[in-house]
Copies of this chain bind each other. A is one copy, B any other.
Amino acid sequence: MFKVFICGGSGYTGSELLRILALHDEIEITGVTSEKSAGMAVNELFPAFFIYSHLKFENLDIDKIKKKADIYFLALPHGKSQKIAASLLEAGKKVIDLSADFRIKDASCYEKWYKTPHLFPSLLNDAVYGLPEIYREKIKNASLIANPGCYPTSVILPLYPFIKKRIIEIDSIVVDSKSGTSGAGRKAEVTLNYCEVNEDFRAYNVAKHRHTPEIEQELSFAFGGFITIDFTTHLLPVNRGILSTIYAKLKKKISTKEALEILKETYENEPFVKVMDEGQVPSLKYVKGTNYCYIGAVVNERTDRLILISTIDNLVKGASGQAIQNMNIICGIEETKALKSLALTP
């Protein structure tokens, strides 16, 4: 039994860790923190999680918590993970950080987009970007995992093989992403109220979303040269799920079938990536509550553009599920442990 600790358990990614880990029989949760709910039992805040009646939210006191576990999930706001991670690493612990703090290798790029200084740039090189489909071998021995952002997971997986194989024009990439509202976090804001989001749909942070440099970094690594993309995010009136529609000009003509074969070949051994057959594209509901990423492709022969459509659950493969997948890899546990649920349908 591995001992697991969650820093930040009252937000949506924290509570999702609690939900998924309830089905995991090789770990034990030894503690969970929450600034606002410290002192409250987990099942008081989340009555649906009655099995955690013995677990109380505690304050994030680094000296206390660093003795409690082997592996630490940090489900904290951006900027708050850096110090905690550094202390835990120093204490010899494994850290899986769900924030953006260790995803961007270039500290100045991080500082530009997140508008906050990076206090531990030296850790950026040790951090492994926790996308198992690309970095599985490095993850196995990592001490610090930078768990990928939700949008980047949905964008990098479909684009990766086409960039790697130089099939698309790299200055032609347009990514139009749509996310469920849980992506905005569990916070009190009028613009996130039910009546404001329901029956509405809107774009936000147009041409300046913080996930842009993260996507560009990983695509650039795959390409071996710098890639800039257009990336627009929209708020969907659903609780969970991201669907990304991705457009790129083909450098050479390929058919829809060939595009799908490239995806299938790339991901044939991946337990969590599902490539659609020709004529089908994925639907958000295929992944609700699951760790899967479904990908479809269509070549528009009228315009010579490749259209990729991918979908994930932003809280699972886009956050907490992927974090647990990383934990399983690090611990040598079966990679799909606790992650086999099928989508809640309907």
Tell me the A residues contacting B by CB distance below 8 Å. 12, 15-16, 18-19, 22-23, 46-51, 171-172, 174, 176, 178, 180-182, 186-190, 192-204, 206-207, 228-230, 232, 234, 236-241, 243, 245, 247, 274, 276, 280-290, 292, 294, 298-303, 305, 307, 309, 340-346
Contact = CB atoms under 8 A, between A and B. Distances in A.
B232 A307 contact: yes
A147 to B, nearest CB: 20
Given A201-B284, A202-B243, A303 B228 contact: yes
B194 A198 contact: yes
B201 A243 contact: yes
A198 B230 contact: no
B199 A197 contact: no
Contacts of A344: 19, 240, 288-289, 344
Nearest to A303: B230
14 contacts: A16-B345, A19-B343, A49-B342, A51-B342, A174-B176, A178-B234, A180-B195, A186-B195, A187-B193, A193-B194, A195-B239, A198-B237, A198-B238, A288-B344
B181 A195 contact: yes
Given A284-B199, A288-B344, A340-B22, A294 B47 contact: yes
A174 B22 CA distance: 37
Given A247-B174, A294-B47, A344-B344, A182 B202 contact: no
Pairs of residues from A and B, 4 with the lowest C-beta to C-beta distance, nearest first: A195-B346, A194-B197, A48-B343, A207-B300
A238 B341 contact: no
Nearest to A300: B207
A187 B193 CA distance: 8
A249 to B, nearest CB: 9
Contacts of A197: 194, 198
Contact of A230 (B229, B247, B289, B345): B247
A340 B23 contact: yes
A229 B174 CA distance: 14
A342 B202 contact: no
Given A188-B188, A344-B289, A345-B48, A300 B230 contact: yes
A262 B281 CA distance: 37
A188 B189 contact: yes
Contacts of A23: 340-341
Contacts of A302: 207, 228
A230 to B, nearest CB: 5
A245 B232 contact: yes
A202 B276 CA distance: 14
